[in-house]
Structure 1
Amino acid sequence: MHKSVRFYARVARLLAVIGLGLSLALWVGVLERLGRRDLMATRQRLTRWFLARLAGALPFRVQVTGRVPEQPMLWVSNHVSWTDIPLLGAVAPLSFLSKAEVRAWPVAGWLAHKAGTLFIRRGSGDSGLVGQQLARHLGDGRHLLIFPEGTTTDGSLLKTFHSRLLTSAVETQVPVQPVAIRYWRDGQRDEIAPFIGEDDLLSHLLRLLRSDLAEVEIRLLEPVTSQGLTRTELSRKAKSAVQLALFGEVEDEALAA
């Protein structure tokens, strides 16, 4: 298929998926107005269904290894791109913790909100409130995924895991599910998928849709028990597992509180 034809076909498919997502989100909004109290389980199921189709509309070939946990866990993953969210969200019914800026994104921010995403403003002092929301979410028996680096990277390194984001797992005694995600292109680290620096969503999306297929590896690692551990110890264990899976080595570094 000619590249320009392939590009427009991908755009058409993506727009169709987004239109479907808007319809689902509107339906959730109607249910909310009708007074349904707890829609989170419904949101998670619909979100997984939608994200699986969104992931299928992106130019990736995905391989998932490891076992999806049956019991509720706090999933922690390295963070390379906004595409991590649909790719990981297609694996299991999840809710996400995201930076507040995403809430302002056109269409995507509204969809994320309707999907039950929790938003946090960096440096705003609301981490305590968000921590309570995370603990409540886990305590209700639902999977939750966070990116404890707090930012994206180009995939060549793993940044500090901010241990305060794992406090909820310690408080609720919920295990942690470490996840390692990696993007490959022609046998090398993919330089198109990372969403870093001053890049904007639309420009990045168009570059992706014009590119050839890339390979994505998602590895669900051995869960880490939170019982008897401090949040710093739990963060260190989770990061070490992801570091080993991505780079075959473990770094010894101080973790942020």
Structure 2
Amino acid sequence: MGLIRFAIKSPLLVLWCLLGLLLSITTVPWLAEASILKLAGWWHRNLLRILRVRVHVTGTADAASGLMVSNHISWLDIIVLGSRFHTYFVSKAEVAKWPVVGTLARSAGTLFLPRGGNQSAEISRAMSDRVAKGSYVLFFPEGTTYAGTEVHRFHPRLFAAAIESGVPVLPVALFYQHKPQPHPTVPYLGDQSLAANLWGLLRTPAIDVVIQVGHAIPAAEKQRKELALEAQQQVTNLLQTTIDDHS
């Protein structure tokens, strides 16, 4: 059955990515930023249909814009969150070099974060510019992917954008349903290649993922470390609640 799923999904995935590349060249350059985010959301939602990923959202965002932070499990997180929120993403610089994916990410306005902290101020300014226009900017403060069963330390440096812009931080938690945990194919960990991870996903039956939306945290009069710790604690609580609900 796994090979049959792969045979059905993979041609659709290729065609959908080619359409995304075509749109990034012919349509995106002429669109306003708000329209680009709407188009990206539409593209993400249909990609999830191809991959047979079903998204369940619990809670409602109580901030119209600001920084959004989440635990990080897979490259699939971006597609899942982009399908439900009109948001820009901050991604590691290596993603910009990935075939097809890098081009699509750039066309959607992704900000690429170089390794090291030398350009953190520049990235923070770019994030501040985006949220000032009434959008979300989402990043993964754990800095890398984990299995999804617990939340790891949130690095504080990019929280400076919320403090400088005076916008709130909205925590969300991702949970890919499976018994037992962690999910056997979704986590993109260690030295695994993108192709290997995608091979597993294309052979997997329907995947259910829960987005648990928290409460916006005001950034005023907070330090970066304080804001990061508060966001981390809220995501930890959200994830544990979701795990308990599905155990």
Q: Name the TM-score, length of structure 2 as normaliser.
A: 0.91
Alpha-carbon spacing, 1:30–1:141, altered in 2? closer, same or farther (3 Å): closer
| Identity score, percent | 36
Alpha-carbon spacing, 1:116–1:53, altered in 2? closer, same or farther (3 Å): same
Name the CA distance, whole Å, in 2 between partners of 1:190 and 1:160.
21
Q: Which residue of 1 aligns with 2:24?
A: 25
2:84 is paired with a residue whose SS is coil
How many equivalent residue pairs? 241
Find out whether 1:40 has 2:33 as its counterpart.
yes
Alpha-carbon spacing, 1:159–1:125, altered in 2? closer, same or farther (3 Å): same
Question: Shift of residue 61 of structure 1?
Answer: 2.5
Q: Which residue of 2 aligns with 1:64?
A: 57
Q: Residue 17 of structure 1 aligns to which amino acid in structure 2?
A: W
Question: Residues 82-106 of structure 1, C-alpha deviation per residue, up to 9 Å, x if partnerless?
Answer: 0000000000111000000000000
Q: Residue 173 of structure 1 aligns to which amino acid in structure 2?
A: G
Question: Shift of residue 4 of structure 1?
Answer: 2.8
Q: Which residue of 2 aligns with 1:236?
A: 229
The alignment's C-alpha RMSD in Å is 1.7
Contact (CA 8 Å) 1:24, 1:46: kept in 2 or not?
Answer: no
Q: Which residue of 2 aligns with 1:176?
A: 169
Find out whether 1:221 has 2:222 as its counterpart.
no
Question: Residues 156-185 of structure 1, C-alpha deviation per residue, up to 9 Å, x if partnerless?
Answer: 222211111111111111111101001122
Choose which of 76, 100, 125 in structure 2 pairs with 1:83.
Answer: 76
Question: Residues 111-153 of structure 1, C-alpha deviation per residue, up to 9 Å, x if partnerless?
Answer: 0001100001111611111111111111222111110111111
Alpha-carbon spacing, 1:56–1:70, altered in 2? closer, same or farther (3 Å): farther
Q: Which residue of 2 aligns with 1:254?
A: none
Contact (CA 8 Å) 1:190, 1:214: kept in 2 or not?
Answer: no
Q: Residue 16 of structure 1 aligns to which amino acid in structure 2?
A: L
Question: Residues 40-85 of structure 1, C-alpha deviation per residue, up to 9 Å, x if partnerless?
Answer: 2222111111111112222323211111346112100000000000
Moved more, 198-207 or 54-63: 54-63
Q: Which residue of 1 aligns with 2:86?
A: 93
Q: Structure 1 segments of 4 or more deviating over 4 A?
A: none
Could you say which structure has the greater relative contact order, defined with CA pairs below 8 angstroms and 6 or more residues apart? 2
Alpha-carbon spacing, 1:92–1:69, altered in 2? closer, same or farther (3 Å): farther
Contact (CA 8 Å) 2:61, 2:214: kept in 1 or not?
Answer: no
Name the CA distance, whole Å, in 2 between partners of 1:76 and 1:99.
15
Q: Which residue of 1 aligns with 2:67?
A: 74
Residue pairs, 1:1-257, within 5 angstroms: 2-28=1-27, 30-31=29-30, 39-69=32-62, 71-123=64-116, 125-186=118-179, 188-247=181-240
Q: Residue 19 of structure 2 aligns to which amino acid in structure 1?
A: L
Contact (CA 8 Å) 2:62, 2:215: kept in 1 or not?
Answer: no
Name the CA distance, whole Å, in 2 between partners of 1:29 and 1:215.
30
Alpha-carbon spacing, 1:168–1:30, altered in 2? closer, same or farther (3 Å): closer
Q: Residue 65 of structure 1 aligns to which amino acid in structure 2?
A: T
Contact (CA 8 Å) 2:63, 2:216: kept in 1 or not?
Answer: no
Alpha-carbon spacing, 1:187–1:196, altered in 2? closer, same or farther (3 Å): closer
Q: Residue 144 of structure 2 aligns to which amino acid in structure 1?
A: T
Contact (CA 8 Å) 2:167, 2:218: kept in 1 or not?
Answer: yes
Q: Name the TM-score, length of structure 1 as normaliser.
A: 0.88
Unmatched tracts of structure 1, length 5 or more: 249-257
Moved more, 77-86 or 39-48: 39-48
